Amino acid sequence: MAVRKPQLPPKRFDPAQVTRIGQGGEGYVWRVRDKGLGQDVAVKTLRYDKPLTPAHYDKLNWEYHIASAVRSPHVVRIHDSSPKRSTDHDAFIAMELVGTGTLAHRLALGGSFPLDQVAKLGAALADALAATHESGILHRDVKPANVLFGHDGVLKMADYGNATLEFGGRGSSIAGSPGYMSPEMARAVVARDYGLPATGERVNTRQNDLYGLGVIMYEMISGEPAFPGFDREDRILAQSTGELQPVTDAVRGVPRDLAGIVTALTVNTPGRRPDSAAEVRDVLLELAQSLPTEPVGHVGPFITLQESATPDVLPARPRGRDAPYTGPAPAAPASERPTDVARIAANGLSDLNETHAPAHDVDPSATQPGADVLAPGQAADRHYGATGPSDAAGAPDRPELPGPEPDCPARELDNSMD
């Protein structure tokens, strides 16, 4: 069915230069000429072919403010927004247009990356997560389809539609995508879908985001899906056990230090994963200088186009609730202190076998060291750095978050630009 072009403010956007470049469960993405900027931008609108409620508009407004608060050269920059439909235009978010497709496309068509590039690109994504977490925000949907490649080869994290506040947000809500959500999030999905008792695990954490980074790096090394399978339930059940095959078993020739970092990021117990994306970034940048410049995994397509175009859906399905549960009981593992990434890189996989002392429970009212917790109504104070605009004099004011997070279901479809 043909999709009508969005109605956008004609004084700002050229109605003759509007092209749809992507869609997801709740939104379309368009390439549009911005007259004021004199360049093309990406514009996200809601899917007006489906019934829309006030909650959809509130969530779009929330996404705009959340994404605007994160400043990093590796996060898609937000330009403007009109989160409410008016008499002359649809609700929209205008953002930086990042040009050459997603990491999901690159993996699907090209497979494995050179090992030094795995570390460099992993460091770029870790930098994006560091900026996100330092703003007091959790992304909650870290996956290749939400990572964009610029014309200059720079990676950009996109799609904050599932993001929440680290403290004071939807701490127990479910969000993410099969194949990339953490084991604790997958266990929460299994409990929900099969009517099992809640696991009691805290699922919305920095470690949940970093797990997604680890799976992305795993796939860039191997050139194959970390959790293969077309069926959504099969992948989620596999993830709920946390049994990810070691990357050294999947591919020969992976250096021990790189494999150690991937293992630390994807270990089943969330308390043993790193809790600092900035630390992961720094270790990867240093490691990249000594890694081989050739890939060791599968090169070439690793999934069919049909599979790659299939949305990663997470809504609970009635047949799942009615069907008997045959998987393992989703019990919460023992909590342990976060893994030191530098130590893992230096000592290899055997370091994960050490016994760690239990960690203290996190106090939601406390600020983690080095983090500026972003409360409702506050804006983060973070600079772009040398490669982009900063918050110095002359820079536009950062919009503030619009009060409490909207009470609507987390979007569980892929709204990225693929």
Strands 13-23 and 27-34: antiparallel
Q: Compute the distance between CA of residue 218 and CA of residue 226 in angstroms, rounded to an integer.
A: 7
Q: Compute the distance between CA of residue 259 and CA of residue 220 in angstroms, rounded to an integer.
A: 12
| Distance from chain centroid for Cα 389 | 23
Q: Compute the distance between CA of residue 29 and CA of residue 18 in angstroms, rounded to an integer.
A: 10
Q: Are 265 and 210 in contact (CB under 8 A)?
A: yes
| Distance from chain centroid for Cα 20 | 23
Residue 254: name the closest of 211, 286, 298 by CA: 298
Q: Give me the chain's average pLDDT, please.
A: 76
Express each pLDDT in 316-365 by its tens digit.
Answer: 333 333 444 444 444 444 344 456 666 656 555 444 444 333 233 333 33
Q: Compute the distance between CA of residue 39 and CA of residue 37 in angstroms, rounded to an integer.
A: 5
Q: Are 20 and 29 in contact (CB under 8 A)?
A: yes
Give the lowest-confidence range in 170-179, 224-233, 334-343, 364-373. Answer: 364-373
DSSP annotation string for 273-314: S-S-HHHHHHHHHHHHTTS-SS--S-BS--S-HHHHHS----
Domains and CATH numbers, the chain: 103-353 (1.10.510.10)
Q: Are 320 and 193 in contact (CB under 8 A)?
A: yes
Annotated active-site residue in 34, 90, 127, 141? 141
Q: Compute the distance between CA of residue 65 and CA of residue 397 in angstroms, rounded to an integer.
A: 12
Q: Are 128 and 74 in contact (CB under 8 A)?
A: yes
Q: Return the exposure string of 265-293: e unless at least 16 CB atoms fall within 10 Å of the residue's CB, then b.
A: bbbbbbbbbbbbbbbbbbbbbebbeebee
| Distance from chain centroid for Cα 329 | 27
pTM score, whole prediction: 0.76
Q: Return the exposure string of 377-403: e unless at least 16 CB atoms fall within 10 Å of the residue's CB, then b.
A: ebbbebebeeeeeebeeeeeebeebbe
Q: Compute the distance between CA of residue 63 and CA of residue 361 in angstroms, rounded to an integer.
A: 29
Q: Please state the rounded mean pLDDT for residues 90-97.
A: 93
Q: Compute the distance between CA of residue 137 and CA of residue 406 in angstroms, rounded to an integer.
A: 15
Express each pLDDT in 110-141 by its tens digit.
Answer: 999 999 999 999 999 999 999 999 999 999 99
Express each pLDDT in 386-406 by its tens digit.
Answer: 223 333 333 334 345 555 566
Q: Compute the distance between CA of residue 23 and CA of residue 74 in angstroms, rounded to an integer.
A: 22
Rg (the chain; Cα; Å): 21
pLDDT at 194: 87
Q: Compute the distance between CA of residue 336 and CA of residue 325 in angstroms, rounded to an integer.
A: 29
Catalytic site includes residue 14: no
- For the cut 60, the answer to whether the pLDDT of residue 196 exceeds it is yes
Tokens (6 digits) for 287: 């490691």
Express each pLDDT in 243-270 by its tens digit.
Answer: 788 999 999 999 999 999 999 999 999 9
